[in-house]
């Protein structure tokens, strides 16, 4: 396999929350074929394999993660074909949005402010109130669970709310259909979205984004605030006073404290409203 292979790599610096232990093995493949080879080898050896994107929606256990963690950061090419943009899984959404704005292509503004990479955004169908990743997707290149590489068109997408429904496949490339527009107009929409996000979410603090999925017809943040959980704190983790569906890390916190805070919030919301909040964040190594 072409790429870097390292052992006992700390994962905390690679996540937005900045907590958690190391990975037994850390792989950074250079190309799609290298990702496929890694999947086949891990399958043959029965070694657990996880894929690290931007690290914005995961909580890593304090004891770390067994097996292999695969980083797609090197898959970072962006290619334009008229109004279509193809981006590698390791491209950050802010970089993709800047690139499309610069060439006058609109349609991805709905993803403004999401601290993710393309692969992770596809895997979880990341989005905002304005739209989701799959809204503009026209094709995906995936490494399947058997290590084969496959291209799926729109007719084979099965995404739902905050779930790309990839069923274990790894997105290594995504193609979006966009629309020509004035770069200045696109920039204005970016700026408006960012200002709104900065005013309502703790974007400058360490967090994992929304901790819980929004229940049907309601908002997790509203339910958490109604249960009196804003600024509730356990150790180094606290429910944000700006947006109650965000937990912020003040430093020296642990994954165990995050889990304890999450369970206490769930308990209080259940007692207040009868709603069972479901986590949107992913847990590794627990």
Q: Output the domain CATH number for residue 176.
A: 3.30.465.10
DSSP secondary structure string for all residues of 142-186: EE-TTS-EEEEEGGG---BTTB---TT-EEEEEEEE-EE--HHHH
CB 95 within 8 A of CB 159: no
pTM summary value: 0.90
Torsion of CA 199, 203, 206, 208, to 10 degrees: 110
pLDDT value for 3: 81
pLDDT per residue over 150-196, tens digit each?
A: 999 999 999 998 899 999 999 999 999 999 999 999 999 988 888 88
Q: Are residues 161 and 92 in the same domain?
A: yes
Place of tokens 């965000």: 246
Longest dimension (CA), the chain: 54
When the pLDDT of each residue in the chain is averaged and rounded to a whole number, the result is: 95
Q: Are residues 41 and 122 in the same domain?
A: no
* Domain extent at residue 40: 3-71
Q: Are residues 38 and 83 in the same domain?
A: no
Q: How far apart are the first and last CA of the chain?
A: 29
Place of tokens 């402010």: 113
Q: Are residues 112 and 195 in the same domain?
A: yes
Q: Are residues 66 and 130 in the same domain?
A: no
Q: Does residue 210 lie within any of the structural domains?
A: no
Q: Does residue 261 lie within any of the structural domains?
A: yes
Q: What would the two tokens of residue 201 be?
A: 């979410």
Q: Does residue 270 lie within any of the structural domains?
A: yes
Q: What would the two tokens of residue 179 be?
A: 């629309």
Q: Are residues 242 and 268 in the same domain?
A: yes
User: Which of 14, 38, 71 is the endpoint of a domain?
Assistant: 71
Question: Domain total for the chain?
Answer: 3
pLDDT per residue over 189-238, tens digit each?
A: 988 888 888 888 888 899 998 999 999 999 999 999 999 999 999 999 99
Q: Are residues 189 and 113 in the same domain?
A: yes
Q: Are residues 85 and 190 in the same domain?
A: yes
User: Which of 43, 71, 99 is the endpoint of a domain?
Assistant: 71
Rounded Cα–Cα distance for residues 200 and 242 (Å)? 6
Q: Are residues 227 and 149 in the same domain?
A: no
pLDDT per residue over 20-46, tens digit each?
A: 999 999 999 999 999 999 999 999 999
Q: Does residue 206 lie within any of the structural domains?
A: no
Give how far Cα 77 sits from Cα of 222, 260, 282, Å.
39, 40, 27
CB 193 within 8 A of CB 112: yes
């Amino acid at each position: 396999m072409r790429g870097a292979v390292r052992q006992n790599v700390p994962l905390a610096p690679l996540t937005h929350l900045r907590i958690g232990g190391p990975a037994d093995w850390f792989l950074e493949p250079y190309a799609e074929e290298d990702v496929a080879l890694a999947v086949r080898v891990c399958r043959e050896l029965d070694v657990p394999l996880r894929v690290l994107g931007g690290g914005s929606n995961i909580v890593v256990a304090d004891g770390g993660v067994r097996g292999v963690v695969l980083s797609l950061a090197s898959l970072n090419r962006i290619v334009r074909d008229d109004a279509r943009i193809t981006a590698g899984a390791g491209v950050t959404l802010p970089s993709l949005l800047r690139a499309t704005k610069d060439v006058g292509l609109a349609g991805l503004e709905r993803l403004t402010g999401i601290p993710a990479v393309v692969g992770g955004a596809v895997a979880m169908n990341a989005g905002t109130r304005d739209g989701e990743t799959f809204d503009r997707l026209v094709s995906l290149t995936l490494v399947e669970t058997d290590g084969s590489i496959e291209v799926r068109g729109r007719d084979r997408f099965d995404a739902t709310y905050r779930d790309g429904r990839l069923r274990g496949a790894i997105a290594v490339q995504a193609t979006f259909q966009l629309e020509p527009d004035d770069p200045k107009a696109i920039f204005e929409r970016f700026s408006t979205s960012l200002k709104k996000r900065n005013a309502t979410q703790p974007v400058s603090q360490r967090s994992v984004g929304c901790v819980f999925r929004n229940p049907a017809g309601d908002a997790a943040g509203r339910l958490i605030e109604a249960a009196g959980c804003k600024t509730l704190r356990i150790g180094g983790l606290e429910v944000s006073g700006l947006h109650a569906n965000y937990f912020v890390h003040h430093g020296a916190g642990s994954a165990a404290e995050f889990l304890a805070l999450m369970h206490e919030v769930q308990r209080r919301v259940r007692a207040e409203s009868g709603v069972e909040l479901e986590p949107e964040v992913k847990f590794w190594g627990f």
